[in-house]
Structure 1
Amino acid sequence: MTAMVIGADYLGAIEGKMRDMGITEIAHIKGRNPGEVKKFNIPKSAAFVLVFTDYINHNMAKVVKSHAKAQSVPLVYAKRSWCAVERKLAGLGL
C-alpha cells in the first residue's frame, strides 16, 4: 500500500510505525515551500493522503484538498504525533 504524506520536515518514528501497519511506500512532501505547490502530484497508487496540519502552508492545503477530491483519494488530517496519526488511520480501517 502506498501513502502520500504532506507536511513536516522529517517524519521520524512515524514512518517506521506506518510501515508496521502495512504501508510499503511513503511519498513525502514537506509542504512549507510555496514552490512545491506547482509540482504537487498525488501518485496513482496512493491509497490515502495524510496531511500534518501543523506543518503545511495554507495554499498547499487547498491544492491537496482539490487534487484528492478530483482523484477520489481519501484525505486524512492529523497533528504530527503518532497517537493522532494512528487514531486517524484506524478510522480508515488500517
Structure 2
Amino acid sequence: MNAYLVGADVLGNIPDLLNRYGITIHKHVSGRHAAHQRKPASLKGVDLIILFTDFLGHNVMRHYRELANEENIRFVACRRSVCSLSQTLDKLGHCAGNPCDTCPQRKLH
C-alpha cells in the first residue's frame, strides 16, 4: 500500500512504523510551501493519504480531503506521533506485522 503524507517537516520514526504496517511512503510534503497548500494535480498510485493535523492549516487539509474524495482514496487525519498514527491505522483495520489466527482483521490481509 502506498501512502501520501502531508504535514510535518521531519517524520522521525514514522517510516519504520508504516513499514511494519506494510505501507510505503509514496510522497511526503510538509504543507508549508505554497505549492503544497493547494491540491496536487494527481494522486496516481496512492492508496492512502495521511494528514498530520498538528502541522496543517484548515485550507490545506480541506484541499487534500476533497481530492481524496474525488479520487476515492482513503484518508486519515491524526497527530504526528507514532502512537497516534498506530491507533489510527488500527482503527482502519491494519495490523502491524502478521495477524494472529484469532484476529478479526485477518481476512483483510
> What is the TM-score with the length of structure 1 in the denominator?
0.88
Listed as ranges, the matches of 1:81-92 within 5 Å are: 81-92=81-92
Q: Within 2, Cα distance between the matches of 1:26 and 1:60? A: 19
Aligned pair count reads 94
Matched AA of 2:17: K
TM score, norm. by length of structure 2: 0.77
Give the superposition deviation at 1:87. 0.7
| RMSD, matched Cα | 1.6
Partner of 1:45: 45
Runs of 4+ in 1 over 3 A off after TM superposition: none
Q: Which amino acid in structure 1 is aligned with residue 52 of structure 2?
A: F
> Counting helix residues as a fraction of each chain, which structure ranks higher?
1
Residue type at the aligned position of 1:10: V
Which structure would you say has the larger RCO, counting Cα contacts within 8 Å and 6 or more residues apart?
1
Unaligned runs of 5+ in 1: none
Q: Unaligned stretches of 5+ in structure 2?
A: 95-109
Q: Percent identity?
A: 31
